[in-house]
Amino acid sequence: MAARKLRTIEPRYYNILYNNRIEMLYIYVDPIITALIIKLKGKHNATLEEKIEILEGGIDL
């Protein structure tokens, strides 16, 4: 289910994992990666520095 959700919200990232045959491992990082993807998509006009800050700052679970 986690891999299917990833395929829907971020198909390019899913394809990278799929091509390396590790998409099923996504379940272990799903909450973290999904939150970061949502944060980054919400900041589509952000500078590279702002995007790096988001990634470095992580998320609050």
pLDDT digits (tens, 9 = 90+) for 31-49: 888 888 888 888 878 899 9
Those residues whose C-beta lies under 8 Å from the C-beta of residue 42, and which sit 6 or more positions away, are none
Contact assessment for residue 56 and residue 39, using Cβ atoms and an 8 Å cutoff: no
Q: Report residue 12's pLDDT band, with 50, 70 and 90 as the boundaries.
A: very high
Instruction: Reply yes or no on whether the pLDDT at 59 is more than 70.
Output: no
Residue 8's SS3 state is helix
Which pLDDT does position 3 carry in this prediction? 86
Tell whether the model's pLDDT for residue 51 goes beyond 80.
Answer: yes
- Count CA atoms closer than 13 A to 43's CA, side-chain side: 16
